[in-house]
Amino acid sequence: MLNASRWIMRYGLAALIALLVAAVSAPAEGMRFEKNVMVPMRDGVKLAANVFIPKGDGPFPVVLIRSPYGKGDENNGQGKFFTERGYAMVIQDCRGKFDSEGEWDPFRYDAEDGADTVKWIHEQNWCNGRVGTGGGSYVGYTQWALAPLVGDAVDCLLPVVPFSQAYSGTHYVGGAYQLALTMGWGAGVAFEQHETPPQFNLGVALHHLPLNDWDDATGKSIPYLRDWVAHSTPDAYWAKRGVDDAYEKIVAPILSIDGWYDIFAKVALEDINAVKARSSDRPIRRNLFCIMGPWGHGVNQTIVGDLDFGENAKLDFNKLQSDWYGYWLKDEETGVQDWAPYRLFIMGDNQWRDEYEWPLARTDWKKAYIHSGGKANTLDGDGTLSFDAPQRETPDEYTYDPEIPVPTLGGNNLVGAPIGPHDQREAELRRDVLVYTSEPLEHDMEVTGPVKMVLYAASSATDTDFTAKLVDVYPDGRAMNLCDGIIRARYRNSNTDLELIEPGKAYEYEIDLWVTANVFKAGHRVRLEVSSSNFPRFDRNPNTGHAFGADAETKKAEQTVYHETGRESYVLLPVIPR
């Protein structure tokens, strides 16, 4: 049985603790520590903050961290790290968590509460008027959330493994629900550290239907879990839980750090690009940076999933944040002004490289088409992948049964499923997985950028899912996943104006496979998998066409995938000339 709260705290946050500094250490000598300072919000609710003030004469620049995970005490290692370097630090419990008043409703209050806290900091006699923010995961979100409201009252942000939108950043992908992430994390943070949460088996709970009463599986009523299912389109509920259309109001320099296998890999890049695209201020656009490593939900990992990316995969995070805050909060010449906007770890070569735009301007977009004689089912089928367009070919068919979905074997996960690259051959032995593989490459081929698939397919259902996965096949047969995606049929044209499909009719689907940066080495093969489930990363489409979350029963769907003239199915690869 799984204690979900402790599982989240242990594994979901362990990477964040490592990427910051040691979680517990002796307090800095002479540091002044103020515990549970109650900071008033605009609606009268007071939020608890621990304040760390350096020894010596102030005032000081300040680093703010707003977290739902607990703020510790005077032994908090981050407090020591910052005060020893001449910064005051404020670490605050989010609304409704630990010592803070109010209701815990994830994502809802962080914009206003963050802005009110920044205003309060500026009013303190130990603040010199320079404020930065820091932290990872949800603590990255709290930074993005406040940024449009504070103008230049915040001098810099350092969000790690972050996101800015709750709807598209954490919950819904291609119309499908990120089940393991949202429900696993959501249940875990519903309990406080001092509570004794009920024991429940997360693996069993993830199979629970209907989804609109999923919290029954936890032994505790958790209203926001029901809300997340009830609001399956980006409506007014979600508009209050993200930056939405306010990117142009962000004026602070931002350093965003993430990994290719993180749950926020795609949005970390998109968020930075959204500010670049919408800001009319050239210096602001120049002061936006993104680092992407080979990691999952954290940094400095060398072994991720089944692959070892080597010591070169590590960052000196302490130096990185010292340089960042030193430049923006202390006017120190730390070299930040010479950084490239993007620093990318190129897997396969396992080397870092500086880039100046995303996607890369020199990208050669290549269509890799799927082919078969109608028997691409399983690894032993006749599916192939090549840059030659198909002509007259027999379509492939398979049965999607939601009761026995294709398991999630690695990828962009946090809870409930393996993280990172894993051998996919177990899934590729299933008849409901179509496998298309290229010939061995004669030369290295780099694929760096966003990846998508255009798929022509029909279904016997009025609503169903289609999935795609890009895989690097090693000469020894290992099939290591790089990136994947999903599309829910009713979301094929819009995530607001939903349309069911006509059974038996072929439709064009665009599947976003997110992002990667990988060199397929000579002798390797490029593989594409097509199916209809990836569980529990995504919820199972019950194939009924009913309202989302209401089904307790499922039915099978007969799927047909086309690859012929006029209905060419392909994956669009961002190939980088070498």
Contacts of 140 (CB under 8 A, 6+ apart): 159, 160, 161, 162, 163, 256, 264
Q: Which two tokens stand for residue 326?
A: 């030193």
Burial label, 58 (beta-carbon count in 10 A; 0-12, 13-18, 19+):
middle
Whose CA is closest to 214, among 253, 171, 172, 183?
A: 183
Whose CA is closest to 516, among 161, 260, 295?
A: 260
546 is catalytic: no
443 is catalytic: no
Whose CA is closest to 91, among 63, 55, 60?
A: 63
Task: Select which of 110, 155, 258, 262 is catalytic.
Answer: 262
Task: Select which of 67, 100, 137, 164 is catalytic.
Answer: 137
CA-to-CA separations, 514 to 30, 291, 307, 452, 483, in angstroms, rounded: 48, 16, 20, 7, 6
Bridge partners (DSSP) of residue 5 are: none
User: How wide is the angle at C-alpha 389 spanned by C-alphas 385 and 391, nearest 5°?
Assistant: 110
297 is catalytic: yes
**191, 2 contact by CB (below 8 A):** no
**Cα gap 164→178, rounded to integer Å:** 16
Contacts of 207 (CB under 8 A, 6+ apart): none
**333, 327 contact by CB (below 8 A):** yes
**288, 323 contact by CB (below 8 A):** no
User: How wide is the angle at C-alpha 12 spanned by C-alphas 9 and 15, nearest 5°?
Assistant: 110
Alpha helices in 386-455 (DSSP H): 425-428
Burial label, 460 (beta-carbon count in 10 A; 0-12, 13-18, 19+):
middle
Write the DSSP symbol of residue 26: P
Task: Select which of 171, 297, 371, 524 is catalytic.
Answer: 297
**Cα gap 370→573, rounded to integer Å:** 13
Contacts of 439 (CB under 8 A, 6+ apart): 384, 386, 525
**Cα gap 431→377, rounded to integer Å:** 5
Angle between helices 223-230 and 179-188 (to 10 degrees): 160
**Cα gap 509→224, rounded to integer Å:** 31
Taking every pair of C-alpha atoms in the chain, what is the biggest distance, in angstroms? Answer: 79
Catalytic residue set: 137, 262, 297
